[in-house]
Amino acid sequence: MKDVVVIGGGPSGLAAASSIAEKGYKVVILERDDELGGLLQQCIHDGFGTILFDESLSGPEFADRFIEKVMRSDVPIELETYVKSVDKKDDHFELLTVTPEGVHKIKSRSIVYAIGCREKNRFEIKIGGTRPAGVYTAGTVQRLVNLYGVLPGKNPVIVGGGDVGLIVARHLYLEGVDSLFMVYPEDFFSGLPRNAQQCILDFDIPYRNRTTVKRILGDKKVEGVELVEVDEEWEMIPGTEEIYECDSLILSVGLIPYSEKIEDLGAEIDEETKGPVVNEYYGTTVDGVFSVGNLVQIFDYVDDAVKTAYIVAEGVDKFLKGIDVKRKKPIKLVPGDKIDTVTPQRIFYEEGEEVTVFFRPGVEKENAVVCLVNLGNVIKTYRKRYLRPSTLEEIKVPKDLFNGKKEVTIRVR
Amino acid sequence: MSDRKEVLCIRCPKGCRLKLKIGDKVVVEGQECKLGEEYGRKEASSPQRVVPSTVKIIGARYPRLPVRSEKGVPMNKVEEVIDELKGVEVIAPMKKGAVIVENVADTSVDIIAERGMEVQE
Ligand SMILES: Cc1cc2nc3c(=O)[nH]c(=O)nc-3n(C[C@H](O)[C@H](O)[C@H](O)COP(=O)(O)OP(=O)(O)OC[C@H]3O[C@@H](n4cnc5c(N)ncnc54)[C@H](O)[C@@H]3O)c2cc1C
Ligand code: SF4
């Protein structure tokens, strides 16, 4: 019997496994791919690690820091091991894994899910038309270009101004497509401003805001798209349709946590983050099941995602030691006015100094005041120089602030 | 006499808005870490960008090896750097940090491997 199984060998899973092993527990990492590092192996641009290491690393370089650490420890790593299902037994969990050798069972007292996120597809954003070859998600293109040196087409259109799309646009431009056009429904790129600047504006790549793709054209291969203008509510404006010729369509329309598996286990899912509801130690609503990294919510920045992995080690430790100092009813942390998401969503334990709370602003605002509110009273305020929806924010909340409360709301004044 | 300018720090996703006061020396405000100060100073005089790309690798798990310029190159040299990488071919195994191209496009900056790659059929 293992103490802990960590599912997923991306940066969060690796960091979680190392910190848990340092506490003396028997941990194993299960990774479905044939190498460690997760998604970062295909993110070859720099900018990772500035918070954790004070250096600007590329994705593979950042991942390597965590891979090396795990390699130096005695944590066993099982590659090409896909976790198919997990069953909750009386006092342990039973995992069913699939490897090239066959199907196996593993028993563990607790589980840390670190399986990350996936990209939304064309059906989730309701693009109509035919189903020809040549429609890709931006992450797939990133993988094709950066690992295999294959371009998706000569004249791609990118729909959605998210980060992955912006970064892919720069790769495509520099690797030499004939033409490139980006459209997105927002007023301004939804990705980070830094990516808009260094990927699109630096190179004068053509783009159009308040525009989306209504239909895909072409029988066997993509021959074009029907573009349409949209209003502030992203409703298509009739009469503004226009055919644009292209040989491929790249979707960069958002990421979503991989929560199906953990939901099957009975964990409550947050409507806003689309990830599991977690407490301050990243425990889900199923005892003994934890969740870290991009599965909890989409962290734009992997440095933040990894912070959750350091915190989870404490939670696993408490669970395995049987320390049960839970509040009888966990306190809820909820997003209020001008806030889209808040994690953690629950405060379980009374002891501890402070809680690291992440929230995503719903508005762009300079010199903002962020308030913690209980029963209509402001109980603490934080000043933030610049809020914007594309950037996740972090605050430290003293634990005793939660005493005697049922619910605390975070809002922007 | 000093000039004021606002730029966005692109060293990491935080995207701090830097306020530059450009006089005899450059004063940077608004950065949340020390990389921002360096970035602000450079952006005031000669903007630079780290260039990520890939080169062909033979005998490894993937056909491409991710590489990048070891530090920033002048912004107007970015496309020249990419062009110079187009014909480059390396053979596995490759060590992380290995110099792939020295003094790329006469920038006195080297191109280095972002990761190691073992030999694999
Ligand atoms: C296309 C794309 C581009 C991105 N670009 C950036 C970027 O430029 N900068 C940035 O900061 N962030 C970026 N992100 C976000 C990125 O996902 C995170 O920053 C980081 O990878 C999170 O690490 P993680 O360990 O939580 O998840 P991941 O890195 O996704 O790791 C999850 C691991 O779990 C494994 N796994 C999944 N399911 C199973 C299973 N059932 N059994 C076993 N193993 C499993 C996967 O193979 C993977 O290795 C990007 C995300 C995507 C989708
Ligand atoms: S100043 Fe530091 S924290 Fe802010 S964007 Fe630049 S590198 Fe990131």
**Structural domain includes residue B119:** no
Handedness of CA B113, B114, B115, B119 (dihedral sign): negative
Averaged over A167-184, what is the pLDDT? Answer: 93
CA distances from A245 to A131, A156, A216, A222, A224 (A): 16, 9, 10, 9, 4
The CATH number covering residue B90 comes to: 3.10.530.10
Atom of ligand 2 nearest to the CA of A194: 5
Tens-place pLDDT, residues A30-81: 999 999 999 999 999 988 998 899 888 999 999 999 999 999 999 999 999 9
Give Cβ neighbours of residue A67 (< 8 Å, ≥ 6 apart): A14, A36, A37
Q: Does A243 touch chain B (CB under 8 A)?
A: no
Helix (H) or strand (E) holding A142: helix A138-143
A145–B contact, CB cutoff 8 A: yes
Pick the residue whose CA is nearest to atom 7 on ligand 1: A43
Q: B77 and B38 in one domain?
A: no
The Cβ-side half-sphere exposure at A240, using a 13 Å CA radius, reads 14
Indicate whether residue A296 lines ligand 1 (CB < 6 A): no
**From ligand 2's centre to the CA of A57, what distance in Å?**
13
Across the interface, whether the CB atoms of A174 and B96 are under 8 A apart is answered: no
Ligand 2 atom closest to Cα of B33? 2
Asked if B60 and B99 sit in the same domain, the reply is yes
Give, in order, the Cα–Cα distances in Å from B73 to each of A38, A85, B50, B98, B105.
29, 49, 6, 18, 9
Q: Is A60 on the interface with B (CB under 8 A)?
A: yes
Residue B118 in domain: no
Nearest CA in chain A to B8: A194
Among B57, B62, B114, the residue to mutate for chain A (most A Cβ within 10 A): B114
Distance CA A36, CA B61 (A): 13
Report the pLDDT value the prediction gives residue A318, as an integer from 0 to 100. Answer: 93
Distance CA A202, CA A174 (A): 12
CA of A65 relative to ligand 2 center, distance in Å:
20
Q: Inform me whether the pLDDT recorded for B1 exceeds 90.
A: no
The pLDDT value recorded for residue A125 is 80
Window A:28-47, CB contacts with B under 8 Å: 34-35, 41, 44-47
Contact between residue A291 and residue A309 where contact means Cβ atoms under 8 Å apart? no
Determine whether the interchain pair A56/B79 forms a contact, defined as Cβ–Cβ distance below 8 Å.
no
Amino acid in the structure at residue A387: L
| Residues A61 and B96 sit within 8 Å (Cβ to Cβ) | yes
- Running DSSP on this structure, what letter comes out for residue A193? H
Query: Which of B8, B13, B34 is opposite residue A301, by nearest beta carbon?
Result: B13
Per-residue pLDDT, A86: 96
Alpha-carbon separation of residue A104 from A17, A36, A107, A265 (angstroms): 21, 21, 10, 19
For range A20-25, the mean pLDDT: 96
- Does residue B72 sit in the same domain as residue B109? yes
pLDDT at residue A326, as a whole number = 67
Q: In this model, does residue A357 exceed pLDDT 70?
A: yes
Express as a percent the part of chain A with pLDDT over 70.
99
Question: Is residue B19 included in any domain, yes or no?
Answer: yes
Q: Is residue A265's pLDDT more than 80?
A: yes
What are residue A57's DSSP bridge partners?
A: A48
Q: What is the pLDDT of residues A334-345, one digit of tens each?
A: 999 999 999 999
Does one domain contain both B27 and B79?
no
A16 CB-side CA count, 13 A: 36
Are B19 and B62 in the same domain?
A: no
CA dist A170 and A183 (Å) reads: 15
Is residue B16 within 6 Å of ligand 2 at its C-beta?
yes
Q: Which amino acid is at A332?
A: K
Q: How confident is the model at residue B2 (pLDDT cuts 50, 70, 90)?
A: low
> In this predicted structure, which of A152-166, A189-203, B75-89 has the lowest mean pLDDT?
A189-203
Pocket test for ligand 1, best of A56, A66, A302 (most atoms within 8 A of CB): A302
Q: A4-13, A217-226, A298-307: which range is least confident on average?
A: A298-307
Q: Does A126 touch chain B (CB under 8 A)?
A: no
Residue B120 placed within a domain: no
Tell me, yes or no, whether B32 and B62 share the same domain: no
Residue B15 in domain: yes
In a domain, B121, yes or no: no
Q: For residues A375 and A408, what is the distance between their CA atoms, to the nearest angstrom?
A: 8
**A311 Cβ neighbours under 8 A, 6+ residues apart:** A280, A281, A282, A356
pLDDT of A176 above 90: no
- Whether B41 and B57 map to the same domain: the answer is no
Strand partners, A113: A7, A291
Q: Is residue B14 part of a domain?
A: yes
Residue from A115, A164, A311 whose mutation best tests the ligand 1 pocket (most atoms within 8 A of CB) = A115
Which chain B residues have a beta carbon less than 8 Å from that of A48?
Answer: 12
Residue among A149, A192, A303 minimizing CB distance to B54: A149
Binary contact (B114, A192; C-beta < 8 A)? no
Mean of pLDDT values over A154-169: 94
Query: Which residue from A279, A293, A266 is spatially nearest to A399, judged by alpha carbons?
Result: A279
Q: Looking at the structure, do residues B62 and B87 belong to the same domain, yes or no?
A: yes
Q: Which residues neighbour B27 within 8 Å (Cβ) at sequence distance 6 or greater?
A: B20, B21
Assess if residue B103 is contained within a domain. Answer: yes
* pLDDT reported for residue A38: 92
State mean pLDDT over A323-328: 71
> Which tops the pLDDT comparison, B106 or A126?
B106
Number of structural domains in chain B: 2
Q: For B8-50, how does the pLDDT look when each residue is reduced to its tens digit (9 = 90+)?
A: 888 777 778 899 998 888 899 989 888 899 989 988 888 888 9
User: Does residue A85 register a pLDDT over 90?
Assistant: yes
- Report ipTM for this prediction: 0.84
Question: In A, which residues are within 8 Å of B11 by CB distance?
Answer: 47, 50, 56
Structure confidence by residue, pLDDT tens digits, B55-67: 999 999 999 999 9
Answer whether A174 sits within 8 Å of B75, measured CB to CB. no
Q: Could you give phi then psi for residue A400, rounded to 5 degrees?
A: -65, -15
Residue of A nearest to B78 (CA): A174
Whether residue B108 sits in one domain with residue B63: yes
A158 lines ligand 1 (CB under 6 A): no
- Select the residue of B8, B50, B96 nearest A64 (Cβ to Cβ): B96
What whole-number distance in Å separates Cα of residue B29 and Cα of residue B14?
15
Least confident of A241-250, B38-47, B75-84: B38-47
Domain, as residue range, for B27: 3-45
Considering the domain architecture, whether residues B57 and B21 belong to the same structural domain is answered as: no
| pLDDT tens digit sequence for A383-408 | 998 898 888 999 999 999 999 899 99
pLDDT, mean over chain A: 93
What ranges in A57-110 are assigned the alpha helix state H?
59-72
The verdict on B58 and B37 lying in the same domain is no
User: Which residues make Cβ contacts (< 8 Å) with residue A368, sequence separation at least 6?
Assistant: A361, A383, A384, A386, A387, A412, A413
When pLDDT is averaged across residues A140-166 and rounded to a whole number, the result is 94
Alpha helices in A10-122 (DSSP H): 11-22, 59-72
Question: What is the C-alpha to C-alpha distance for residues B113 and A392, in angstroms, rounded to an integer?
Answer: 31
- Return the pLDDT at A43: 94
Cβ–Cβ of B96/A61 closer than 8 Å?
yes
Enter the DSSP assignment of A253. -
Sheet bearing A346-349, strands edge to edge: A346-349, A326-335, A407-412, A365-374, A377-387
B61 and B105 fall within a common domain: yes
Q: Which residues does residue A34 pair with via DSSP β-bridges, in sequence order?
A: none
